[in-house]
Amino acid sequence: MSAPDSLFVKACRLQPVERTPVWFMRQAGRYMPEYRAVRKQYSLIEICKHPQIAAEVTITAAEALGVDAAIIFADLLLPLEVMGLPFHFSPGEGPVIEKPLRTAADISALRTDRAADLGYVAEAVALVCKQFGAKLPVIGFCGAPFTLASYMIEGGGSRNYIHAKKMMYSSPRAWDELLGKLVAVAGEYAAQQVRAGADVIQVFDSWVGCLSVNDYRRYVLPRTKELIKQLQKTGAPVVYFGTDSATLLPAMSETGAEVIGLDWRIPLDEGWRSVGKKTGVQGNLDPVLLFADWKEIQPQAEEILRRAAGRPGHIFNLGHGILPETPVENVKALADFVKQYSFETASR
Ligand code: CP3
């Protein structure tokens, strides 16, 4: 842990802070010219596997935006490779898993003993921590069991999650074995990042919103809770994020995560009521709003801060990651606005 007294870490622990901390999911990405320049020389996976370069990309983005936390540059799917499922990124198509899991035997064959081979991510975390010291906290991350399982079974992104849900409904034991293996690997992988200095872990359950509340509780919540409890043993607070999650929020907060990440579909105060007042919230401006003029963005950012009402435990973010082609000046203006406006309203 390198910046335990930072605004962001304090807010994750629901402690009062003098202004609202702000960072953005995918703050290092293709919308940023500095990132595109690095990508001309290296593929996404090459960046991830070279700690120097991954650290540089992480640091450059956090400094360019003036945000209150740096999220380590990596990808959600890296653990698949060490479990025995190679994948690549195909332009325009996104991630492609070469041999998706389709049977119980495929799941039994997955390995859980090679999380140490992901050490390059922890090395990058250590470099970023060294650069920022106590000045800026570093966020490590991993995928949640459901979202990782959905990629492994579907073979890539999906619209209806037919293969994943079919496995969940028709082979519940194999499904649970898979989620258990993912908890083991993701838990160890995230713990490596904390040992290297990460202050907070964010667990991405990006696609969990495709589930009914009942199915979430039955097939996903127990293993997700297990992962989050395991991560908390490292001493780092956990942010648990999903999209399309309005109906799932009460169940998601039962995982015990310190903070729940909200998407933009729910008003922030309503989302906060759903997760309960003992849990913090992160969010939740629509990332597509950043394509509009500043005069449209500002009142909506202000509205989110008004709904948070300065209560301890709000971290400003988008409701999902920054999209390619987003105007950089709007992202910078948003970070500046949140810092200034929340400071002025807090000190009034
Ligand atoms: O937030 C950050 O700045 C840290 C970097 C980060 C990346 N991926 C780098 C990346 C993080 C936090 C992720 C997580 C991730 N990866 C998620 C969960 C977050 C979410 O958005 O819900 C998911 C679902 C993935 C899997 C993945 N990786 C997808 C679906 C894609 C998009 C493919 C495409 O072509 O658009 C990626 C690629 C990826 N990961 C990019 C970045 C910056 C863009 C691709 C590139 O640089 O070529």
pLDDT of amino acid 348: 66
**Residue 18 pLDDT level (bands cut at 50, 70, 90):** very high
Residue with tokens 């903070």: 259
Residue 159 backbone class (left: φ over 0; alpha: ψ -120 to 50; beta: rest): alpha
pTM summary value: 0.97
| CATH pick for 7-346 out of 3.30.1180.10, 3.20.20.210, 3.40.50.2300, 3.20.20.140 | 3.20.20.210
Question: If you measure from the C-alpha of residue 92 to the centroid of ligand 1, how many angstroms do you get, rounded to a whole number?
Answer: 13
* CA distance between the termini of the chain: 33
Does residue 133 carry a pLDDT above 70? yes
**Cβ–ligand 1 contact at 321 (below 6 Å):** yes
Q: Whose CA is nearest to atom 20 of ligand 1?
A: 206
Question: 3-state SS string over 113-140?
Answer: CCHHHHHHHHHHHHHHHHHHHHHCCEEE
Question: If you measure from the C-alpha of residue 26 to the centroid of ligand 1, how many angstroms do you get, rounded to a whole number?
Answer: 7
Residue 340: helix, strand or coil by DSSP?
helix
Question: If you measure from the C-alpha of residue 63 to the centroid of ligand 1, how many angstroms do you get, rounded to a whole number?
Answer: 20
Catalytic positions are 26, 30, 39, 75, 151
| Residue 73 and residue 48 in contact, taking contact as beta carbons nearer than 8 Å | yes
At residue 261's C-alpha, the angle toward residues 203 and 196, to 5°, is 35
Phi first, then psi: give them for residue 41, nearest 5 degrees: -95, -30
**Cβ–ligand 1 contact at 94 (below 6 Å):** yes
**Cβ–ligand 1 contact at 31 (below 6 Å):** no
Q: Tell me: the pLDDT tens digits for 149-200?
A: 999 999 999 999 999 999 999 999 999 999 999 999 999 999 999 999 999 9
| Residue 172 and residue 113 in contact, taking contact as beta carbons nearer than 8 Å | no
Q: Which of 57, 76, 151, 159 has most ligand 1 atoms within 8 Å of its beta carbon, as the pocket-test mutant?
A: 76
Q: Tell me: the pLDDT tens digits for 286-329?
A: 999 999 999 999 999 999 999 999 999 999 999 999 999 999 99
Q: Tell me: the pLDDT tens digits for 53-103?
A: 999 999 999 999 999 999 999 999 999 999 999 999 998 889 999 999 999
Crossing angle for the helix pair 145-154 and 162-170, to the nearest 10 degrees:
110
**Cβ–ligand 1 contact at 28 (below 6 Å):** yes
**Cβ–ligand 1 contact at 156 (below 6 Å):** no
